[in-house]
Chains A and B, each alone.
Chain A
């Protein structure tokens, strides 16, 4: 099955730089499968372009990367892209993965009420560790990879036609594999510390789904 995917990739601070660059792997995967990709990066990750692409292109998958809170997912320079009680109806009939803090708690369920098929996100802060020596090359950061690879597994699974529930489960299993690996190896202090944050992210990833279509 071919997908069409909208990706928002603001890039204006360390966190958004990391998640924006790691999202490129998902874009490459989608393109390799022949899926249509609408990539709103940096300044294009603004509300006007976001709403325009959603309305005109009607992507089936929406991959949001950016800062957020219980009610909002933001784009470039923290411009609000989606807010509860404002424009979450734009997500109707779509499957959303928000790599963003907290939006899985209120925005996710609210978007389902307004007709989204599924919303996968985090109901608390998404936390990751990184190597300060790799700040200019986030894609080579093995510390950040511990967190961002399991996170990306949601989109990998969705692009491979898994259901949202399966994608959510696969991502959690990917977190669990990392945790087990860190626990079973001769863990360094860094790896040992990373475990608690991996568990935190794994436990706070949530999936809301529409019950009937």
Chain B
């Protein structure tokens, strides 16, 4: 079983690999640069939780063979 903290670290590690000039738009929650994305995940606020949710959804999807469906 992977802990929430481990998931968070996994997401942050993934975000750190992004080019410095990458931004992310999450609808009405706003737009964020790489440093802000990482800060939100570290804080665990709504935006951070959304980024983690996408990662979790992706990891669950991998287990269920989502890439074969794509």
Q: Secondary structure of the A side of the interface?
A: helix
Interface contact A15-B31, CB-CB below 8 Å? yes
A131 to B28, CA, bound (A): 19
- B3 lies within 8 A of chain A by Cβ: no
Chain B residues packing against A (C-beta within 8 Å): 14-15, 17-19, 21-31, 33, 50, 54-55, 57-58, 61, 66-67, 69-70
Whether B31 and A68, one on each chain, are in contact in the complex, defined by CB atoms closer than 8 angstroms, is no
| Residues of A close to B18: CB separation below 8 A | 189-190, 193
B54, A196: Cβ atoms closer than 8 Å = yes
Interface residues of A, count at CB 8 A? 39
Across-interface contacts of A68 in B (CB, < 8 A): 27-28
Which residues on the B side are within 8 Å of A78 (C-beta)? Answer: 28
Residue-wise interface mask of A (192-212) relative to B, using a CB-CB cutoff of 8 A (1 in contact, 0 not): 110111011011000000000
- B55 CB to nearest A CB, Å: 6
Residues of A within 8 A of B28 (CB): 15, 67-69, 78, 101
A130 B17 Cβ-Cβ under 8 A: no
Q: Mark A96-118, 1 if CB is under 8 A from B, else 0.
A: 00001110000000000000000
- How many contacts A-B (CB < 8 Å)? 92
Please state if A125 and B29 are interface contacts (CB–CB under 8 Å). Answer: yes
* A interface residue numbers (CB < 8 A to B): 13-15, 18, 67-69, 78, 100-102, 125-133, 135, 143, 175-176, 179-180, 183, 188-190, 192-193, 195-197, 199-200, 202-203
Which of A14, A132, A133, A179 is the one whose CB lies under 8 Å from B70? A179
Q: Is the CB of B21 within 8 A of A13?
A: no
Partner among A132, A179, A200 whose Cβ is within 8 Å of the Cβ of B54: A200
**Is A143's CB under 8 angstroms from B22's CB?**
yes
Residues of B within 8 A of A200 (CB): 54, 57-58
| Structural contact, A125 and B50, CB atoms closer than 8 A | yes
Chain A's closest residue to B29 (CB) is A125
Chain A residues within 8 Å of B33, by CB: 132
Which chain B positions have C-beta within 8 A of A102? 27
Q: Measured between alpha carbons, how far is A102 from B66 in the docked complex, in Å? A: 22
Specify the chain B residue showing the minimal Cβ separation from A14: B31
10 contacts between A and B (CB under 8 A): A15-B25, A67-B28, A125-B50, A127-B25, A135-B23, A143-B22, A189-B19, A190-B19, A193-B22, A199-B70
